Chains A and B, each alone.
Chain A
Amino acid sequence: MRIAFLSDIHGNREALDAVLRHAGRHADRLVFLGDLVGYGADPVYVVDKIADEVGKGALSLLGNHDAAAATGSVEGMNEYASAAIEWTHHELDPASRAFLIEMPMSIEDEDRLYVHSEASSPRSWQYITDAGSAERSLRSTAKRLTFCGHVHKPQLYHMTPMKPPVRFLPQPGIGAPLVGNRKWLAVQGAVGQPRDQNPAAAYSVLDTTRNELTYFRVPYDIETTAAKIHAAGLPKILAARLFIGR
């Protein structure tokens, strides 16, 4: 089976549609790793679309922006993020908010763990940025493979029991075999707001038969997405950063 992992869509309709078209050719099943909304101008479309996919068997995890948008609480968020969350909260109807807040924090699926942020303490929304945070996450689960998002930068860590993990920066389109008796932590890039200086939407596909993970980059129509952010009156920086992937 081929499972597509999509994380950090952040209300970006054009990026989501482009990735779903791409994944339609490369995957049989969808897993959304959280942060469906926040920042972007199409939260309603994105939530409807993903709720529809969940109805057809996809999985969707809770992210910190989803929780905030559902409840309207912006505690701990920066100025731009909280502006976007307040706007998003008012855009969403009660049914959409309920869908968001009812998404699970984590899911275990065969030898895999799905979670939005660092897995040792999912509710504190910690980032995985280096070997130390990756090790905390990997040591907190018995599952061989962990898939998460939250940092908007694709990274792949692998760890043997006696050693700290090693980071690998995956090359788009080249499948990495998740071999051996070691654990792997696949941090996803962002579909809707990439921050690794590559503006194309990021997602990955796990082929469980071949035991191989491939990161993909999918270009999308950023101009349209940015125009909608401007039209919605959201902070302009949220549109500008999409063009440079930062």
Chain B
Amino acid sequence: MAREALQTGSTIDGFLIGEKLHTGGMATLWSVTHPDIAVPIVMKVPMIMDGDDATVIVGFEMEMMLLPRLTGVHVPKYFAVGDYARQPYVVMEQIDGDSLLPLLDKSPLPISEVHALASRVATALVDLHKQNVIHFDIKPSNIMLRKSGEAVFIDFGLSRHLQLPDLLEEEFHVPMGTGPYIAPEQVLQNRTDFRSDIYSLGVILYHLTTGERPFGFPQNVRGLRRRLWRDPVPPRKHNPETPPWLQEIILRCLETDPGKRYPTAAQLLFDLQHPGEVKLTERAERLERDGFFTVTKRRFGWAGTQGSPRQPEVVAATSAPIVMAAVDLTDGMEQLAETLRIHVQRVLATVPGVRLACVNVLRQNRVGINYSLDEEGRNIHVQRLVELKDWARPLNLDREHVTFHVLEHTDAAASLIEYARSNHVDHILIGARGAGGLRRYLGSVSSQVVAEAPCTVTVVRVGQSETELVD
């Protein structure tokens, strides 16, 4: 394929080529301008040599397929792709910020900084996974931070959109990914699991917390396979400042078996947003790696596993949802609270892996004394938590699957909606106090939640006879 060489000053499809910003192993990056585009943009051009390296070509095809379909602040805004036969390229927004790469040299970072970065990247991952895309190459150099703070993923050359053809499937002779970050199932050439990205994020968090790579920098497949049985040195051993909740989160992300990791990025983010609510297991306090016997057993268990079937069952990003129960604990609403619990129970029984957030709003007066600041206020808050836990007790949930939150707010509906948004709740169950005319006229909490929540909402009512409905 003969192609005209790009150079500063030349024009292609209306894009004026500016300076060359970067030459990587796979592509060059040019600053470009276009009369119709006001924001700074870059053109990514694959390095296609005469030998036509298949991985470069396929990776670029993947980006051409995915970028136009991705939306939101956590991916570069897409503008154009070039005709493959003439001059392949992708034009996208230039991100005004740096990648996470320089942070590796500064690690270990203060825990508060690791925490903030983790939350940002997990937020971006939730958004990417909701668009049905697994990145498969999450690493510091592929994550940019906007000046406004949001994390942005770049380079989708190894990615997979679960509703589109996987162009990389045919290239499968070696594991694809980046040595230090690749998940064990990727080593086994399985490209169907969202939790592979959670693993890679765990590697980054480990590195930022400890200054060390959990699995070194393996140079061959044999080296990569070690992580199938060898667990990493617990972060606390490297950095004693690591709080138990953070070690718990990191080691859960780094579980060899995807089934033991967070089921979704949203559940990981939930723990990052509520570190005090993280269920601590034996992982949290661990100071040594697993012993010889455990490791040998694990190694033996993996023996013979060269690769998993081509198309194992795909785990949907929407599985293991976060369900929020907005519980009204006001006197006289006991029947409604019980009806709500019955409906929550039905959801828990039919959907596996649910994480339940039980939420109650403690109303603050707009004017007057703010009770939460004094002793009595604290007591009220604690009392509400106790009542919330008592409400959930018949559900018999493990601590890992349920959390309790009392929100203090002047506007109940707004606080519930905000909670659902920031915690990526998938489904809200909320009770409606009645269906009376006055309530309809004034507007109820539940109707505002239905109208404005970013997810599915189920409104639960206590069954009433017709006469009771009349105000």
Contacts and interface: CB of A to CB of B under 8 A. Distances in A.
Contacts of B54: 160, 162-163
A181 B57 contact: yes
Nearest to A158: B165
B167 A158 contact: yes
Interface string B160-195: 000111110111000000000000000000000000
Nearest to A159: B170
Interface string B37-53: 00000000000000000
A177 B61 CA distance: 10
Nearest to A144: B85
B170 A168 contact: no
A168 B85 CA distance: 24
B164 A176 contact: yes
Nearest to B69: A177
A64 B181 CA distance: 54
A158 B171 CA distance: 12
A177 B84 CA distance: 13
**Range of interface residues on chain A?**
10 to 19
Interface string A182-226: 100000000000000000000000000000000000000000000
A174 interface: yes
B170 A174 contact: no
A180 B164 contact: no
Given A162-B54, A179-B61, A179-B84, A171 B163 contact: yes
Contacts, number: 49
A164 interface: yes
B164 A166 contact: no
Nearest to A157: B165
Interface centre among A156, A171, A177 (most CB of B within 10 A): A177
Nearest to B81: A179
Interface residues of B, number: 19
Contacts of A162: 54
Instruction: State the main secondary structure of chain B at its contact with A.
Output: helix
Nearest to A168: B165
Interface centre among A158, A176, A177, A179 (most CB of B within 10 A): A179
Nearest to A162: B54
B165 A180 contact: no
A57 to B, nearest CB: 28
B198 interface: no
A150 B85 CA distance: 32
Contact of B165 (A163, A166, A181): A166
B173 to A, nearest CB: 10
Contact of B57 (A164, A174, A180): A180
A67 to B, nearest CB: 33
A94 to B, nearest CB: 45
B58 interface: yes
B257 to A, nearest CB: 28
Contacts of B163: 171, 174
19 contacts: A156-B165, A160-B57, A160-B58, A160-B170, A162-B54, A163-B171, A164-B170, A166-B166, A166-B167, A168-B164, A168-B166, A171-B163, A177-B68, A179-B61, A179-B65, A179-B84, A180-B57, A180-B61, A182-B61
List 8 A-B pairs, minimum CB-CB distance, nearest first: A180-B61, A168-B165, A166-B170, A163-B170, A171-B163, A174-B163, A177-B65, A179-B61
